[in-house]
Structures are given as C-alpha cells and as structure tokens.
C-alpha cells in the first residue's frame, strides 16, 4: 500500500483541544496521535494510561497550523518530495495545505496541488498535498523502502520507546520547538604522566 491506513485519520484529526478526562491537569492538551488506534487526539496522560506500548507521534503548531517533526514522521513514512522547514531549530513539515491568497510573482517552486510557493524544489507543501498527488497521479508513495527489515522495525519502535519525561522537556517540544541536544562531551585527552623525580645525580667516574 502506498498510503498507510492511519494517515488520512491523522490529517483529518483536530488537535490542541483540552482533554475531557484530564482537563485540570498541567499537560491536558491533546497533541498526540496513535498510529495503532487511528482514533482521536489525546493528551500526555492518556498516552501513559491507554497507549503505553503503541506507536505514537506528537503534533506541534506553527502559526496556528499543525506540524510534525521530521525526526518522528520519517520513521514511518516516505516524506520525499514534501517541503520541510526549520522552526526554532527543529526541522518540521506541515500536515495539511495552508491557504495562500495569491502566489507571489517570480516564484520558482510551487506546490503541484494547491499552488503554494515553496522555498526549495519540492513537489508538495504538506503531507496532505502529497496524499492528493498520490491519489491523482499515482506517481509517488508514502511507503518506506527498507532493504533491511530490521531497520524498518527499529524505525517504528523508535517512536514508542521515546517517552516525554518531564514538563520542561514537553514545553520545549511544543509549538514546533525542539530541545537542543548537545553532543556528548568528549573525554579529555589523556594527561601526560608526570615524570618521576630524579634521584640524586651521580657523576660519571673519571676514566683512568
């Protein structure tokens, strides 16, 4: 199948409402979607209680539009031909097309479906437009082509095995932001061993 069964439900889901079950909790915003259940959006607490071992992705927002981090979506979809953006240090893509009153003149690249101007030579502005393009032309696909089947399994497990551990981390992941992950500090270079103190110098014996 060129389109996974959970994609259309994801694109039509309304996110960022307040969870009816955990409305008084700190993280009650419904910004998560389960690829196994294909249901409604849910919050952090629903994930812990109802989707613990499922494949879950988190949706962010940029300028009132839903986006998903490339690091998450590329594990389950072939996202080639879709324009990506860097927002607050996070590389993301939009779920659906965004209205554009009038295309700017002299734009070199536009979305094949909605005509939105693009920054780079991609075919589509969003996952939704790529879906329309697949249905209309059949010359593209969302299916991952993995030569190694174990790699495909690792891609999906990478989503479910990465919990959001703290509120501060969750806040930095919202709104299209990304927590800065610095490379691990390299070990210091091996220190030069101190030379042992020399003993009392002995003068060489005089030759006879």
- Tell which phi-psi region holds residue 79, choosing left (phi > 0), alpha (psi between -120 and 50) or beta: alpha
Nearest CA to 93 among 187, 20, 202, 10?
10
Total Cβ atoms within 10 A of residue 55: 19
Nearest CA to 95 among 76, 69, 116, 113?
69
Query: Do residues 36 and 54 lie in contact, with contact meaning Cβ atoms separated by under 8 Å?
Result: yes
Global model pTM greater than 0.85: no
Query: Do residues 122 and 82 lie in contact, with contact meaning Cβ atoms separated by under 8 Å?
Result: yes
Query: Do residues 31 and 59 lie in contact, with contact meaning Cβ atoms separated by under 8 Å?
Result: yes
Q: DSSP label at 174? A: G
Q: Walk along the chain (208 residues) and give the pLDDT tens digit of each residue.
A: 689 999 999 999 999 999 999 999 999 999 999 999 989 999 999 998 889 889 999 999 998 999 999 999 999 999 999 999 999 899 999 999 998 877 667 788 999 999 999 999 999 999 999 999 999 998 899 998 864 345 545 544 544 444 443 444 344 444 333 333 223 333 444 444 455 455 555 555 555 4
What is the reported pLDDT for 154? Answer: 57
The tokens describing 205, both together, are 């014996």
């Amino acid at each position: 199948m060129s389109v996974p069964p959970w994609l259309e439900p994801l694109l039509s889901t309304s996110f960022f409402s307040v969870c009816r079950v955990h409305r008084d909790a700190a993280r009650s915003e419904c910004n998560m979607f389960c690829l196994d259940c294909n249901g409604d959006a849910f919050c952090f607490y629903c994930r812990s209680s109802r989707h613990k071992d499922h494949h879950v992705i988190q949706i962010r927002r940029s300028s009132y539009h839903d986006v998903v981090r490339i690091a998450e979506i590329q594990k389950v979809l072939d996202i080639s031909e879709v324009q990506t953006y860097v927002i607050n240090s996070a590389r993301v893509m939009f779920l659906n097309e965004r209205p554009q009153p009038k295309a700017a003149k002299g734009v070199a690249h536009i979305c094949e479906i909605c005509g939105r101007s693009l920054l780079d030579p991609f075919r589509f502005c969003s996952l939704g437009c790529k879906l329309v393009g697949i249905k209309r032309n059949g010359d593209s696909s969302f299916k991952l082509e993995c030569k190694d089947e174990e790699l495909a399994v690792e891609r999906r497990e990478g989503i479910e095995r990465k919990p959001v551990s703290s509120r501060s981390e969750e806040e930095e992941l919202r709104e299209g932001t990304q927590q800065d992950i610095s490379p691990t500090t390299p070990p210091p270079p091996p220190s030069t061993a101190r030379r042992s103190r020399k003993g009392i110098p002995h003068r060489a014996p005089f030759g006879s």
